[in-house]
Amino acid sequence: MSSLSVYDDLRVHSELRLVQSIRRKLKKAKLVLRPTDKSGVFHIGSMDDYERKAVEYREKTNAYIELSENPLQDIINKVTRLLNDLQLKKQILVKKHYDKMMPDRQKVELSHMYYVPKAHKKYTPLRPIINTIKAPTTSISRFLDKLIRPLFDKHARSTTIVDGTDLIRQLHQYVENDRLQPSTLFCTFDITDLYTMLPQEESLHVLCEFLIEHGYRKIQGIPIDAIRKLARLVLTENVFVDGKKIYRQILGGAMGSPFTLTLANIFMWKWQKEFALQQLNVNEIYGR
């Protein structure tokens, strides 16, 4: 590995001093610097404002309860027991699957929550993100996402808008089919706090319903009942640190956990199914 040139070395030290200076000034003024949710810029807000909005969010959603003790070891034990039990009952047949989901006791730690400002919305609300990279259930969450997301993408393609290009393609086809009329109305809707507000048990029920309806009893040798148990563990054992306090999420899933997006999409599949079918049957467009 070659060493830096004198010029690059001076530049690195200059930029480091600049970053350290910015940090000191932010800390002194009690300000928070964060990248925004979607606009790709940075936002500066007061620390007091962030804390106030975080409290308001927790009170509004009622999705979290404060814990008096650190349950990390208990969660690790629950994950280990479930995986061992499923392997013993031959509901996990592939050792590679078992190994992928088993947490490393030496590396796991509680998740932590941070907030990203939605600068594109009025009053700049905060989006809570839970960093679950080292959480005990993250390996299970990642495994379930890789297992089930391709199935959802396959079976929900007709009602999925992949990106802006896909939307333009669908609208172009809509026009080509002479469906666009002077009376045509285009409606959009936004679901507030979808990931946080998912009812946990109902979401698990819808997950099983989705798999059964599309002909799956097992996926890569893992029965639906085992998938449900694994998914329940991911939802119910989402414990994180926020500031100096520890919380458990009792409603919805962690925004930051790999499987949460897939589960939310499957829950919406159930909610939108009848309406989407009505639109598609008369050659109208519905997409999410």
Out of 50-59, 82-91, 95-104, pick the least confident: 50-59
Per residue in 220-249, pLDDT (tens digit) is 999 999 999 999 999 999 999 998 999 999
Work out the percent of the chain whose per-residue pLDDT is above 90. 58
Judge contact between 136 and 72, C-beta under 8 A.
yes
Q: Is the pLDDT of residue 150 over 60?
A: yes
Torsion sign over Cα 165, 166, 171, 174: positive
Per residue in 158-178, pLDDT (tens digit) is 888 888 899 899 889 888 988
Judge contact between 288 and 161, C-beta under 8 A.
yes
Which one has a higher pLDDT value, 116 or 99? 99
pLDDT band for position 190 (cuts 50, 70, 90): confident
Tell me, what's the pLDDT at 154? Answer: 94
Work out the percent of the chain whose per-residue pLDDT is above 70. 99
pLDDT band for position 140 (cuts 50, 70, 90): very high
- Cα 87 to its chain centre, rounded Å, is 27
Residue 126 burial (10 A CB sphere; 0-12, 13-18, 19+): buried
Tell me, what's the pLDDT at 2? Answer: 64
Q: What is the pTM of this model?
A: 0.87
Q: Is the pLDDT of residue 1 over 70?
A: no
